[in-house]
Amino acid sequence: MEKCKKHGLISPEQSDRLFRFFTACAALLAVMLMIGFFIQLFWLSIPAIKEFGFRFLISTEWDPMNNVYGALPAITGTLVTTAIAILIAAPVSFISAMFLVENAPTWIGVPVSHALDLLAAIPSIIYGMWGLFVFVPFMQNHVQPFLAETLHLKFIPLFSGPYNGFGFLTAGIILALMVLPFICAVMRDVFRLVPPVLKESAFGAGATSWEVTCDITMRYGARGLLGAVFLGLGRAVGETMAVLFVIGNTQLLPKSLFQSGSTIAATLANNFAEADGIFKSSLFELGLVLLGMSFLIQVLAQMWLNRLSRKMGER
Amino acid sequence: MQKRGLAFRKTIDIVLKGLSILFVALTVFMMFWILYTVISNGVKALNWSFLTQPTKPYGIPDGGVLNALLGTVIITFGAVLIGVPAGLLGGIYLAEFAKENRLGNLIRFSANVMMGIPSIIVGLFVYALLVFTTKHFSGLTGSVALSIIMFPVVLRTTEDMLRMVPDSLRESALALGMPRWKATFSIICRAAKTGLITGILLAIARVSGETAPLLFTAQCSDSWPGSYFTQPTANLTVLINEYAGNSPFEEMHVRAWGAALLITAAILILNISCRFIFKESKSAK
């Protein structure tokens, strides 16, 4: 090896080692950034943590005049909008994936799949703008009166209150539309993953195609489907621009779905520019809460989806 | 399984098939509704001065968006310069040196998690890291924020694309006595070229529509993006946020729709052409 002819300044072995080192450094950036997010946000939220302690997470006070902040309205707002989004998007994408993979002829299935991919590519601010100028009036004039009066749901507190178009329900529906293509794409993969032998034997035993989907695909791909839902959750929980435009931005606990409120991300985007001192620190703490939530969701999603890809590899 | 009548089972099946068609149709309809809104409102704003004039405060006639358009291009380009080389190198490491080891799996895991971290958190992070410490907002910090969003995407697609290159190609390059870096760059990356380019273009399409991270970093201004390194830099998405969300004036809403049309058209064209390129190269093989 020593006798190897030198190429310029460094030998091939050295260059290989250098190459490996540099690429490893670049790859390790992913881990370092991930840790950096937590450290940096924690560091800047220390003043707020010292000031408010654990109360920050359970207090509903939001008073920039007296510099008292509580995160509960924003946190519940995030949970409510995300829950609405997933409750709509998960069943709809499941059934749509079933249609696209099992029942649709290719000339419908392929273009529709592409259309869904394009829906996922539309920037979130466009959803926000469309929501503000088109969907909010539509909700106000058609959907909210329909739910409250035509369906007589007014007596449930969730559907009470004036119809102003803004609020949790509108934000939830727009979020559902945004996460649907992502959930649907993974679910389509799960449907394709089920071994045809399993499906065919069920069909052979006389099952209808819904029964095959429900009893075979759903059982076989449960983890993948759950991973898909969590992937959607992760998107919905931190979505900013689309929510910001239609949620109304008031720091109130949700009493009705028609009421305006706020989410963590919307609060950040709305207040960050004017904030300083303890206010800014509180916003960083809110950011830390959001980071923690989405980290947890992503870790769960990855655990389930990893098994899915391993299964794919086995085939 | 409990006993159910055949008629009942068939009805359920038909109802659910009907529902599935309805849902798919509804989703596609919503997509066209959004696109129709953007196009029909956006074309009203398009005229010569809209495309050739910089943004102007309310009341001054024939303001345009050229500075914001340039700003978006420059900020995205900056993000590409920072994020793509790092992502490519990292992807090379994962595909060539860390196929099945612990470190590789850890990196893969954190890259996947990072892809799901909300973009506004990335904005906060870069604000804390760069704006807070240097005391000024700038287009450059916006680029850094976008590059952080891009990085894991490029990393993972690079790895996937390089893994598709057959090992025999690797072995024959190394058997010729090439150093590893040369084999990687001139043989393996070349073989995976179309895939890599598609991945990068898709990552660009993804970040160029981002707004939330730019709110805290690049912000917005009415000036030309000449002071990219030191001053807030105009860009289309924050401009849309300002004009549509924080302005009561009809005239500004129209311009926001125009800007929305520009950015949506650019991103959709990028997306569609990527799919087209990738499909072409696949069918050519």
Complex-level ipTM = 0.91
Structure confidence at residue A237 (pLDDT):
93
The residue ranges of every structural domain in chain B are 6-45, 51-284
Structure tokens at A104: 């649709």
pLDDT in tens, B71-80: 999 999 999 9
Structure confidence at residue B157 (pLDDT):
93
Query: DSSP character for A261?
Result: B
Contacts of residue B10 in chain A, CB cutoff 8 Å? 208
**Who among B23, B92, B110 is closest to A30 (CB)?**
B110
Which residue of chain B is at minimal alpha-carbon distance from A126?
B260
**Residues A63-71, mean pLDDT to the nearest whole number:** 84
Structure tokens at A250: 């008031």
Asked if CATH classification 1.10.3720.10 holds for the domain at B51-284, the reply, yes or no, is yes
Query: How far A103 CA lies from chain B's nearest CA (Å)?
Result: 8
d(CA B236, CA B260): 8
Query: How far B49 CA lies from chain A's nearest CA (Å)?
Result: 23
CATH class for the region spanning A55-314: mainly alpha
Query: Is residue A253 scored above 60 in pLDDT?
Result: yes
pLDDT in tens, A107-124: 888 889 888 988 989 999
- Taking the alpha carbons at both ends of chain B, their separation in whole angstroms is 49
pLDDT in tens, B164-223: 999 999 999 989 988 888 899 999 999 999 889 989 998 999 899 999 999 988 888 888
Whole-structure pTM value: 0.91
One DSSP character per residue, A210-241 reads: HHIIIIIIHHHTHHHHHHHHHHHHHHHHH--H
Rounded to the nearest 10 degrees, the angle between the axes of helix A168-193 and helix A222-238 is 150
**Residues B97-117, mean pLDDT to the nearest whole number:** 90
**Who among A37, A132, A287 is closest to B244 (CB)?**
A132
Structure confidence at residue A2 (pLDDT):
43
Structure confidence at residue A39 (pLDDT):
94
Q: Do A41 and B124 touch (CB under 8 A)?
A: yes
Which amino acid appears at position B252 of this protein?
Answer: M
The residue ranges of every structural domain in chain A are 55-314
Which residue of chain A is at minimal alpha-carbon distance from B238?
A125
Contacts of residue B267 in chain A, CB cutoff 8 Å? 121-123
Structure tokens at A207: 């099952």
Given pLDDT bands bounded at 50, 70 and 90, which one contains residue A1? Answer: very low
d(CA A180, CA B34): 15
Cα pseudo-dihedral A224, A229, A232, A237, rounded to 10:
-130
Name, in order, each residue with C-beta under 8 angstroms of A302's C-beta and a sequence gap of 6 or more: A227, B109, B112, B113
Structure confidence at residue A4 (pLDDT):
47
**Residues A236-251, mean pLDDT to the nearest whole number:** 90
